[in-house]
């Protein structure tokens, strides 16, 4: 019986190392399930490649995450991207810290509209990659179960310098080659759950999130890499989910494009109202959400 129990425990660890007990309890409590905020008071977690960085969370989701334990690998990639952004902006000084990097991104949002911000990010992504990368990527990572799961893992290891700690969980997707061949959704481990996005927390800006991260990144993966990707930020917990193998809705239909300004945004207006972020276009999704909210309010008032 003991041998059977050990075998079962090993199988559970292989399926889900975070929640099965293979990782320290503080990490399991921090990771949570998709959509949950970090809820372990003063939790500390290692992340990034080889666990080279350490993030320390506060007692509540409102407390800022301490990234003083950022590792050399994350610092290197931050400088790599910061230099590319500075060159695109014509800035002589390259940001030396994450705070400086975010300040430069604020200049981008202030200078360009949503389309221009997206083009800036796409340009940076092309600049930092060797020629021919999309062709090689499409060959190595087709939109299959393997391609989606491999990119989910890569995201947790190599993009933590932007988003902080994250973990891989299951997702039910429709756009892998297997799902299309079988004519039904497929459940695979291709969802990346970002515990609390470092970029979003530091910038406090919906426009930066939407115009410089979500939409251009989706565009890049879907159109240049040929790998379906949908990103779903949560502006209450500042978490985010990246689902590989699922094509995103159009920007006009994406409900995330209808979000209003956050109270932490230094250029926000209309916080706490029905108004969307003033730096994003009024979308059909926003109008539909507003109409739905009004219907619910009217129903409550008449009850």
Q: Does residue 94 carry a pLDDT above 70?
A: yes
Q: Which of 37-46, 55-64, 269-278, 286-295 has the highest mean pLDDT?
A: 55-64
pLDDT digits (tens, 9 = 90+) for 261-302: 777 776 666 555 556 676 776 555 656 665 676 677 678 777
- Looking at residue 17, what is its pLDDT? 36
- Looking at residue 152, what is its pLDDT? 97
> Which residues 6+ apart lie within 8 Å of 104 measured at CB?
82, 85, 86, 89, 91, 95
User: Cα separations (Å) of 114 from 64, 111, 270, 278?
Assistant: 27, 10, 19, 11
* Token pair belonging to 153: 């893992």
Q: Does residue 168 carry a pLDDT above 60?
A: yes
Can you give the pTM of this predicted structure? 0.78
Which residue, 235, 295, 292, 287, is CA-closest to 265? Answer: 235
Q: Mean pLDDT throughout 217-228?
A: 96
> Contact at 8 Å (CB) between 250 and 152?
no
Q: Does residue 134 carry a pLDDT above 70?
A: yes
> Contact at 8 Å (CB) between 282 and 210?
no
Residue written as tokens 């998709």? Answer: 34
Distance between CA 238 and CA 66 in Å, rounded? Answer: 15
- Looking at residue 279, what is its pLDDT? 73
- Looking at residue 100, what is its pLDDT? 94
- Looking at residue 114, what is its pLDDT? 86
Q: Does residue 166 carry a pLDDT above 80?
A: yes
Q: What ranges in 21-70 are assigned the alpha helix state H? A: 25-31
Distance between CA 150 and CA 156 in Å, rounded? Answer: 10
**Max CA distance (Å), the chain:** 67
Mean pLDDT (the chain, rounded):
82
State the CB neighbour count (10 A cutoff) for residue 212: 25
- Looking at residue 145, what is its pLDDT? 97
């Amino acid at each position: 019986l003991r041998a059977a129990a050990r075998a079962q425990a090993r199988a559970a660890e292989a399926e889900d190392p975070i929640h099965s007990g293979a990782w320290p309890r503080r990490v399991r409590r921090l990771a949570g399930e998709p959509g949950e905020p970090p809820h372990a008071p003063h939790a500390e977690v290692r992340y990034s490649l080889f666990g080279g960085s350490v993030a320390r969370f506060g007692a509540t989701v409102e407390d800022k995450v301490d990234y003083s334990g950022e590792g050399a690998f994350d610092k290197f990639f931050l400088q790599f991207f910061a230099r590319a952004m500075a060159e695109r902006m014509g800035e002589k000084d390259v940001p030396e810290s994450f705070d400086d990097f975010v300040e430069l991104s604020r200049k981008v949002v202030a200078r360009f509209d949503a389309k221009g911000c997206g083009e800036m990010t796409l340009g940076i992504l092309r600049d930092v990659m060797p020629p021919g990368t999309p062709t090689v990527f499409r060959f190595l990572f087709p939109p299959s179960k393997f391609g989606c799961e491999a990119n989910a893992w890569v995201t947790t290891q190599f993009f933590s310098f932007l988003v902080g700690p994250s973990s891989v969980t299951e997702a039910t997707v429709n756009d892998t080659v297997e799902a299309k061949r079988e004519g039904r959704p497929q459940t695979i481990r291709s969802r990346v759950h970002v515990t609390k996005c470092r970029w979003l927390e530091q910038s406090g800006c919906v426009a930066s999130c939407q115009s410089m991260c979500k939409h251009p990144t989706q565009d890049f993966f879907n159109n240049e890499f040929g790998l379906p990707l949908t990103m779903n930020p949560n502006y209450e917990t500042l978490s985010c989910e990246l689902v590989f193998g699922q094509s995103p809705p159009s920007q006009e239909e994406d409900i995330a494009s209808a979000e209003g300004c956050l109270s932490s945004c230094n250029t926000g207006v209309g916080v706490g109202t029905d108004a969307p972020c003033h730096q994003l276009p009024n979308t059909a999704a926003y109008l539909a959400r507003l109409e739905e909210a009004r219907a619910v309010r009217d129903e409550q008032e008449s009850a």
